[in-house]
Structure 1
C-alpha cells in the first residue's frame, strides 16, 4: 500500500526556539518549515511516523525530540512479519529504552539535564493496519463520521498541565504508553500533533477543518493555533492511505 504524508512544524509566537520534531524513515525534522512537507511512501514493511515535543530547555528538549524521532522511526524497528501484539510489545520496549537513554544522556551532560519529550506516533503495516501510541500529551486524531475522535490518552495530572509521564525527563520511571489498534483511514486520514495545537485551537475548529477535507490541512491547523495565541511550538502531521486500502473502523 501507499500512504500520503503532509507535515509542518513552527516555533510559535512566544518561543525563541522550536523544540518539537517530526519524522519517519529514521530521520527527524526540526526548526521552521514555512511550507508544508508532503510525500508519498510505499509501505512494504511496518513504517512508523511520529511527532515529539521537547522538554527540559532548548538544548535538552530539542535533542530529546530529535533522538526520539530518529530511534522510533528507524526502518528496521519492526520486522515485516510481526502482528499487532508483537508490534505493541516492540514499540513499548523501544519507548522504554529511549526514555532510559535520554535519562542517561541528561545525567552525563549538564546542558542536557532533565531532557525529555512527549511523543505521539503511528506504525502502519503493509496490510493497512495501524498501531497508534503516545507518551505524554501529544495526540492523535481521526474522524468518526464527521466528529473529531482522540485516539491517544493525555498523561497529565487532573486539572493540571503537569505531565505524569514522558520519555526521559530525569525521573527514570517505568512507562505505561497508551496504544490503539485501527486501520489507517483514507482521506482525510489521521492527525498527529503536539500540544501546541490543541492548547491554542478549539476542538470544534480543528474538527471543522478536518471534516471539510481542507486543502493543506497541517498548515491551516498551524495557522489556527497561531491565531489562538501561538504560545508554544506547534507540529502537525497528517497521514492517510492513498490507494483505497484505508478503513475508518477501529
Structure 2
C-alpha cells in the first residue's frame, strides 16, 4: 500500500512591523532529495529578539535544520535531534559575529513523514496538530509558561484564576537561543498515520483561532487541496481582525491514498510506501486534545455552582410543598 503526501504553506504578518516566522519543506526545488520517495520534512520557526534578530533567527534555523537533516543518514529520530542542535549552534555562531543579533532566538517544530509514520522534534510553543476526523489533536508539547501554569492548576497546585491571570503566561520555558536547550520534545518512534489525516505545523499566531474553529475549517475543507486548506486557515486568522495579531504561519500536509488526485500547485507531492498498517484510532489517548468540549458542557462548567445551588433550592421548595400538602 502507498500513500501520497501533499504540502503547502501560507503566512500572514498580522499587525506586526515585520515577518519573523519562517518555514521550509524538503524536498523542494531549492533542496532536492538524494533519493526519491524517502519522505517529507517540514519545519516552522517563530523568531524573536532585537531589531532584525527574530527574522534572522527563524530563517537561519529553518535553513540549517533542512540542511543538517538532509545531509545525514541513520535513524530519523537521531537526524531530527542532530538537526535541532545544528540550528541552535548556527544561531549562536551568527549572534557572536554580529552584535545587533545578540539575544535573538526562535521556537521550532520539525516533522518528518516516511513510510513508517510521523516523527517530530520541537522547542517552544509552535504547534504540531493532527486532524483525524472529527478531532484535532495537539501532538507536541507546549513549552510556554502558560501551559505549565495550566497543568499546575489541573493538578490542584494553584487555582485556575491564578494560572489565567499570570502576566508571564506567554514567556517561553525553552527556545533556540544558541545556549543550552532546556526542554525539547522528541518523538523518535514512528507515530502511525492514515489516509485522510491532515498535519498542521504552525507558529503560535494561529492561536487566535480556538481549537474548535480550526477543527471546523479543516473538516469543511478536508477533501480539498493542501494549498486551499492553508489559505482558509490564514484567512480565518485575518478575519478576526485582532489588533494585536502576531505573525501566523501554517504548513499543512495532507495524507491521502496514492489514487487521489493532487493539485499541481502543491509542493512537495511524494509517494511513500507504507511499512506499517494505517492507524485505526488507537494510541491517541496520550495526545493533548485541542478541540473544545461542546458548548453546553462548557456552559455547565462555567456556571455549575449557580446551577447546583438553584437545583438544591428547587429540591428544598418541592419538599416543603409536599410536606405542606400532606399535612
TM-score normalised by the chain length of structure 2:
0.63
Maintained 8 Å contact 2:24/2:42: yes
C-alpha change, 1:63 and 1:247, in structure 2 (3 Å) is: farther
Q: Which has a greater percent of strand?
A: 1
- Over the aligned positions, Cα root-mean-square deviation in angstroms equals 2.6
C-alpha change, 1:154 and 1:116, in structure 2 (3 Å) is: same
Max Rg structure: 2
Structure 1 segment 189-204 matched on structure 2, within 5 A:
189-198=198-207, 200-204=208-212
* Consecutive unaligned residues in structure 2, runs of 5 or more: 150-162, 164-168, 259-273, 284-327
Maintained 8 Å contact 1:60/1:111: yes
Maintained 8 Å contact 1:26/1:70: no
Structure 1 segment 83-162 matched on structure 2, within 5 A:
86-125=75-114, 127-157=115-145, 158=149, 159=163, 160-162=169-171
Runs of 4 or more above 4 Å deviation: 26-29
* Consecutive unaligned residues in structure 1, runs of 5 or more: 30-41
Structure 1 segment 29-108 matched on structure 2, within 5 A:
44-74=37-67, 76-79=70-73, 82=74, 86-108=75-97
- What are the Cα deviations for residues 64-111 of structure 1, in whole angstroms up to 9, with x where unaligned? 1111111222362442xx4xxx32122113212321321232133122
Q: How far apart, CA to CA, are the structure 2 residues paired with 1:61 and 1:155? A: 18
C-alpha change, 1:43 and 1:132, in structure 2 (3 Å) is: farther
Q: How far apart, CA to CA, are the structure 2 residues paired with 1:24 and 1:91? A: 14
Q: Which has a greater percent of helix?
A: 2
TM-score normalised by the chain length of structure 1:
0.81
User: Secondary structure at the residue paired with 2:52?
Assistant: helix
